[in-house]
Amino acid sequence: MTTALSRASLGYLLRHPWQLALALLGICIGVAVMVAVDLAVESSRKAFELSMDTLTGAATHQVIGGPRGVSETLYTRLRVEHGIDRIAPVVEGRVEIGGTPVHLMGVDLFAERQFRVFSLDVENDPGSTDLDTEALFSRILTDPNAVLMSRQIAGKLGLGVNDRFEVRSAGGYFEGELLGIVGGDASASAGELIIVDIAVAQEWLGKAGWLSRIDVNIPQEDATLRHAIEASLPAGTQLLEASGRTQSLTEMSTAFMTNLSAMSLLALLVGLFLIYNSVSFAVLQRRGLIGVLRALGVTRQQIFTLILSEGVVLGLLGAIAGVMLGIWLGDYLLVLVSRSINDLYFRVSVTAVTVSPFSVAKGLLAGLGATLVSAAIPAIEAASYAPRLALSRSVIEQRSRRIVPLIALMGLCLGLLALLLLRVSGSNLVAGLSAVFLLILGFALCVPISVRVASAILAPLANRLGGTSARLAVSGIGANLSRTGVAIVALAVAVSATIGVSVMVESFRGSVSDWLDRTLQSDLYIAAPGGSLDAPLIAQLTGTAGVEAFSTSRRIWLESPEGRIRLIAIQLAAGRHPRLELLDAGPNEVWPAFEAGEVVLVSEPFAYRSGFVAGDSITLITNAGNREFLVGGTYRSYDVNAGAVLISRAAYDLFWDDPEIDSIGLFLAPDARADDVAERLRTTLQVHPQVVMRSNVEIRDLSLKVFDRTFIITDVLYWLATGVAFIGILGAMLALQMERARELAVLRALGMTPWQLGGMVTAQTATIGLLSGLAAVPLGLIMAWVLIDVINRRAFGWQMDIQVSWQVLAVAIGFSVGAALLAGIYPAWRAASSPPALAMREE
Amino acid sequence: MPLTRAILWIVAIILVAGVAVTRFLANSETVPAAGGVSQSSSRLAELLGSQRLEGFPLATAPRVFSFPQDHGPHSEYRNEWWYLTGNLDNQDGRRYGYELTIFRFSLVPAPPGESEKAPSSAWKTNQVYIAHFAVTDEADNKFYVAQKYSRGAMGLAGAQADPFKVWIDDWSIQENPDEVTNLPPEETWELTASGDGFSLMLNLASIKPAVLNGTAGLSQKSAQAGNASYYYSIPRLRSAGSLQIGDTEHSVTGLSWLDREWSSSALADDQQGWDWFALQLSDGSDLMFYNIRKTDGTQDRHSAGTFIFADGTSQHLDRDDVVLTVTDQWQSPQGAFYPARWNIELPDFDLRLSVSPVISNQELVTTVRYWEGAVDVVGRRGGQALTGRGYVELTGY
Amino acid sequence: MAFMIPDTSKSTVQVHLEQLTRGYTEGLQRHQVLDHVSADFLQGESVAIRGRSGSGKSTLLNLISGIDTPDSGQVEVAGRNITTMKERERTLFRREHIGFIYQSFNLVPTLTVADNIRLVLELNRIPKLESDRRISELLAAVELPDRADSYPDVLSGGERQRVAIARALCHEPSVLLADEPTGNLDDKTAQGVLDLLDRLVRQAGRTMIVATHSATVAAFCDRTLELHDGKLAPHQDGAAT
């Protein structure tokens, strides 16, 4: 390429700074959104996995016991009698420090060394000596207040070394003292863990005599050791592979994160439209220049190379800026993502995004690739012009008019392919998401033809309403399809995403709220978080005047061939049957059988994943080893945890040696005043600070709050997508108006006032917004359906009723028009205020 | 005009990118690796050298020893050890050495109290146990080492006097119930220990009574009062049992030596380490001598020993009673230079001995790095040639 | 409203230019296009303004139409001073009193031939029935009665210019401005356009100001002015054009 040629290209771009800025901004934002979501999701996934690693450490297996855990004497027996020393005891649970829930892990530092290295970080204290370190080690073992933390959690709690603080736990209130910061290798993975000596953990968590588990490290294929351990385990205790245990938890969160990744792809998709929009404008606008260059003897090859090199430069600049912006943005998204994970699955702590080269490379590549493709399509076309033809504007529109039906046909095929994929892919989540994108793409391809038809239909209507200038505005959309089409598609996809997600969230929220209403039947709930309620207290509480009946519940984790199971033992209040929605059985048959201990119930997500139906048997490990239980039915549940099995207290007491009760639900007498009863109960609870009382309304509100918080990230993502679309519209309108500057000047010369002209441009953008909004409605509803019935079902096993409110649709269309109008303000002002004489001058 | 605007735009974009770059760099700045101590193992090592003595009783005056009580733990003292070393032969005359040491430490003077709020945890303790187990295989020139540590609670590790038992996990030295004799002070014990690919089971029976070292069992280690330990030895224990190395089991016999020491003190600031000799000679006598080295390389005047006659009677040895000369050196793979051959002279006894390691590399790279190995002895007493075997411990190199 | 025959008395001054000055700044250079230009154009006369490319002919027409405003001096059209008018007022005035024909036709490509004309009529709030009538009359007059529903891009250059003439005349402007109306046309087609102008403008007694460097067009007009170095002067035969 000659330098004069590249100067012509550079000169053009510099003379059209808006164009240049929008193209760069388009690429930048498109890449940024993708990179940001990618980094946030990847960082939290990594944090999640690291946390799981911290918990399992080098353990290949774990010894798991019944509801209360593993008896600590088993550990001694394994070591002293059986000489097995590749084991370490763990006592863990949740405590609160300054109101913040944290995961407490009690370890035996001696046994721990082979599993986890918690190196003490003394860098912060240059005055520390070996003596101090030794004293620290000794204090961890002997000081009943000694606590170690990662720098992250200490920072979050605002604690420094030697600070004392109150620890609230199942066992009551205790005093802790931060003795040291866990640093080095462990700091990344220690996350939100706070580490104490195993003796301290037992006392704080009220687990004296019990271990949460025994970590085991069995070197590869050492079957002898595994058998030796298995042979020495009492009934009700199992040796399980550590990876398998964390797997179900990981799977659940993976589903969540896959959904997020899908959101980021959506943002990318909108970003791609934007990039295509901006870059192809920059090329198409130069038809004239290209025509002149061709006439001067520049070859097609040279034109193509010129435009593509320009694309490389633009793409690189935009993508690099986008990656930077994305990393910055990722920080904020990360907070939201990790909060959702914390709420739903597991405490993870991520304070900064880890910038993975893979994510960055992916973003750069996507930005550059999209730019090149966007530039290549018009470049091929531009290069193919005969020199004179290139000067003519209408030829391009004619061409695009010709290919529009072909594009629509392609879109239809993609849509059909998507439906086919949905049908054949069973419960595969990735296939479901792929189908969604095919569907969007297919729909997007159908938009141009719809726009043309719509503008043809609307034009006479506009004519009648607003005369020729209104008609001019409307027909201009169809006539300039090569510009308006992409902008409409981008906005439509963004708006349809808002519809799809809103309908999904609304339906979901409605279903959850309904489910909560059914589940929370008692008037008041009393629980000891992380611990249990003792019998005298329960007697005292349930004996309070005004309390008519009560139910109890106990939730424990069980290991099963189907993964981790949440076993919920409930004692129903006398004469009351839960209103839980049974999906495949009648309540009148099921509840008596359930109370009699003949059947258990399984939650819907669990049934969906494991294929249990009423009449099947489920194997649960009891105190006396494995035992089969008859499944009486499936109940609707939006529990995020893997699988839940409901069992009656009577049956539970029979098979598990665990008298503990986590929470009780109190039913008040019809004539009792709720406030008075609550007051009386509160008086009783004054001496039990670790026990919490909440009304059903409070619990419901809390649950919905968590629900809403979970979907903030969704909100943020679709606002981002919409922002991207907004910029697309702005760019498209600007380019369109600039391109038509001469035509607009003629209109001015013919006597249109600036206001009339501005009004016309505004009418045009408003119509674009309206068309986008209208196109977005069917697409959004399809997306909602897919999200609800395909994605959520496949990811979580949840089923929900689709609820479409007209407000959502109205808001979406209104938003679409509003965004377009907003984007049209500047172009309209520009068109109106540019002096016609300048534009009229012959080029 | 458009050019100016274009430049403004480019400047704006660069600014945005600049901010992003700054943030990027700020975020990717790696947290410097934790300095200082990175392994808890080295922390354990420091326990041995600790100066923190407040609250612990000191060995200041001689005491009355009584057995079997004193075989058991003296938990109020800061540190204590049961030190068994021995030389063994298998049925084919193949030469082995072994060491099983169980250390006990009190982290703080008093055991932790009961919790007022919650049921007490059985894991609470101020007692820590560490054990080293090593086997020397002369023919293969191999040295096997294993190590254990544990809290002294939950039955995981501990010590008791009657019936005698000191253990950590499945390593133990305990009274052999099958061979209890009614002839005190004879002790019949059983030793069990195993490492990765080697294990030892021995029956031990004392054939000499316990010998009190130092002044009636009070062994002064420096001039400072209380910087001393209570120290007794059983210099000869008949040993028989089985030694497994790899897949091969050897039945072995030989002699062992028990050292028992407890104190709340450690080395003084100007003391570098010690060389300890426990030699069993062919004429029935035994020699124990420890040479305390000062940081300046000279011999500390508190170096001392005990000579035990064949009949079990003993005589205290001062520094001046023993002339110790190093005649060879060996550099360990870790880089330390250890003495590797000695001449020992006791002029008063007309005794000249030459002591040499069975194999060079008997260095334990454990929480504390030291050399502890089987040695051979040749020499003369008066005009009579004698041989012997023993164990040497070299610390502070 | 009837299609009125304009007053043919030639005594009335239709366009009065007084001391018009207009310049452009290009880079650091000030380029004086019009330098104190004064002239009168009478009712019903056709005047050609000749000059080299860039001599300021188009600028002069833009000033007369109110598309552009002078740096100093004033323009009076139909007795009204348009230089003192506000932008909106000027636009409304132009819409009513001025018709414009361009070298490059400047038809709105997205509107049909009829709609291109209708747009101007609508801007002048001519009722639909009247508009329809005028459109068909004018299209007949410019000999394109069957092209009402065609889009401009299928017309030839001559046809496009005829549509442009129809559009320029549809609202019966006081003054018709033409900027090189035959510049893009071959001689034969150009002659056709001139014939049309003769018929619809000259014979109808309208005032027309034509910027051109074509001798044929100049000859067609009643008189010719020469724009040279920013000054307007009567054309001297034999002067370079």
Mean pLDDT of the region B356-366: 90
| A17/B2 touch (CB, cutoff 8 Å), yes or no | yes
Question: Among A25, A78, A80, which would you mutate to test the B interface (most chain B Cβ atoms within 10 Å of its Cβ)?
Answer: A80
Chains C and B, touching by 3 or more CB pairs within 8 angstroms: no
A287-295 and A300-344 helices, crossing angle to 10°: 150
Separation between Cα atoms, residue B98 and residue B360, nearest integer Å: 15
Element (H, E) at A71: strand A70-71
Mean pLDDT of the region A200-213: 88
Please count the structural domains in chain C.
1
Structure tokens at B276: 């300890």
A384 in contact with B, Cβ within 8 Å: no
Separation between Cα atoms, residue A559 and residue A426, nearest integer Å: 27
With a pLDDT cut of 90, the percent of chain A lying above it is 2
Structure tokens at C155: 């017309």
Contact A83, B170 (CB under 8 A): yes
Structure tokens at A131: 């003596």
| B19/A328 touch (CB, cutoff 8 Å), yes or no | yes
Instruction: Count the alpha carbons within 13 Å of A23 in the hemisphere toward its beta carbon.
Output: 32
Contact A83, B168 (CB under 8 A): no
Structure tokens at C58: 């188009």
| C109/A394 touch (CB, cutoff 8 Å), yes or no | yes
Q: Could you check whether the bond before residue B185 is cis, i.e. omega within 30 degrees of 0? A: yes
* C33 domain-assigned: no
Task: Select the residue of C68, C109, C115 nearest A837 (Cβ to Cβ).
Answer: C68
Question: pLDDT confidence of B39, banded at 50, 70, 90?
Answer: very low
Q: Write down all domains in chain B, each with its CATH number in brackets.
A: 67-112+123-394 (2.40.370.10)
Separation between Cα atoms, residue B352 and residue A589, nearest integer Å: 98
Question: DSSP 3-state assignment of A130?
Answer: helix
- Partners of B168 in the beta sheet? B157, B171
With a pLDDT cut of 70, the percent of chain B lying above it is 83
Chain A environment of B156 (Cβ under 8 Å): 75-76, 79-80
Lowest mean pLDDT among A202-206, A238-242, B26-30, B34-38: B34-38
User: Which of A58-67, A446-455, B46-55, C38-47 has the largest mean confidence?
Assistant: C38-47
Structure tokens at A396: 């391009």
Mean pLDDT of the region C104-130: 82
Query: Is the model more confident about A475 or about A683?
Result: A683
Structure tokens at A163: 């600070």
Is the confidence at residue A494, as pLDDT, over 80? no
Here the CATH number for the domain that contains residue C119 is: 3.40.50.300
Residue B370 CA from chain centroid, whole number? 8
Is the confidence at residue A9, as pLDDT, over 80? no
| C108/A479 touch (CB, cutoff 8 Å), yes or no | no
Is the confidence at residue C9, as pLDDT, over 60? no
Task: Select the residue of C67, C110, C118 nearest A475 (Cβ to Cβ).
Answer: C110
Is the confidence at residue C1, as pLDDT, over 50? no
Is the confidence at residue A640, as pLDDT, over 70? no
Q: What is the pLDDT of residue A492?
A: 81
End-to-end CA gap in chain A: 26
Task: Select the residue of B27, B31, B125 nearest A355 (Cβ to Cβ).
Answer: B27
Q: Is the ipTM of this complex over 0.95?
A: no
pLDDT tens digits along A396-407: 566 666 777 888
Distance from CA of A748 to the nearest CA of C (A): 8
Contact B65, B210 (CB under 8 A): yes
Enumerate residues 22 to 61 of chain B having a beta carbon within 8 A of any beta carbon in chain A.
23-24, 27-28, 31-41, 43-44, 46-47, 50-52
pLDDT tens digits along A567-613: 888 888 877 777 778 888 788 888 888 888 889 998 888 888 777 88
Chain A environment of C56 (Cβ under 8 Å): none
Question: pLDDT confidence of A562, banded at 50, 70, 90?
Answer: low
| A206/B119 touch (CB, cutoff 8 Å), yes or no | yes
A458 in contact with C, Cβ within 8 Å: no
Is the confidence at residue B159, as pLDDT, over 90? yes
* C34 domain-assigned: no
Which residues, at least 6 apart from C215, have a Cβ–Cβ distance to it below 8 Å? C241
* C81 domain-assigned: no
Which of C167, C236, C171, C175 lies closest to C210, judged by CA?
C175
Task: Select the residue of A75, A134, A317 nearest B50 (Cβ to Cβ).
Answer: A134
Query: Is the model more confident about A161 or about A386?
Result: A161
Residues counted in chain B: 397
* C29 domain-assigned: no
| A393/C109 touch (CB, cutoff 8 Å), yes or no | yes
Q: Pick the residue from chain A with its C-alpha nearest to B50.
A: A131
Judge if pTM exceeds 0.80.
Answer: no
Chain A environment of C106 (Cβ under 8 Å): 742-743, 746, 749
* C192 domain-assigned: yes
Mean pLDDT of the region A660-674: 85
Separation between Cα atoms, residue C201 and residue C164, nearest integer Å: 13
Q: What is the pLDDT of residue B5?
A: 46
A111 in contact with B, Cβ within 8 Å: yes
With a pLDDT cut of 70, the percent of chain A lying above it is 75
Domain around C166: 44-67+86-234
Task: Select the residue of C65, C111, C153 nearest A749 (Cβ to Cβ).
Answer: C65
Mean pLDDT of the region A342-353: 55
* C140 domain-assigned: yes
Amino acid symbol at A606? F
Is the confidence at residue A637, as pLDDT, over 50? yes
pLDDT tens digits along A211-243: 988 888 887 767 888 888 888 888 878 888 776
Q: What is the pLDDT of residue A796?
A: 67
Question: pLDDT confidence of B15, banded at 50, 70, 90?
Answer: very low
Q: What is the pLDDT of residue B258?
A: 95
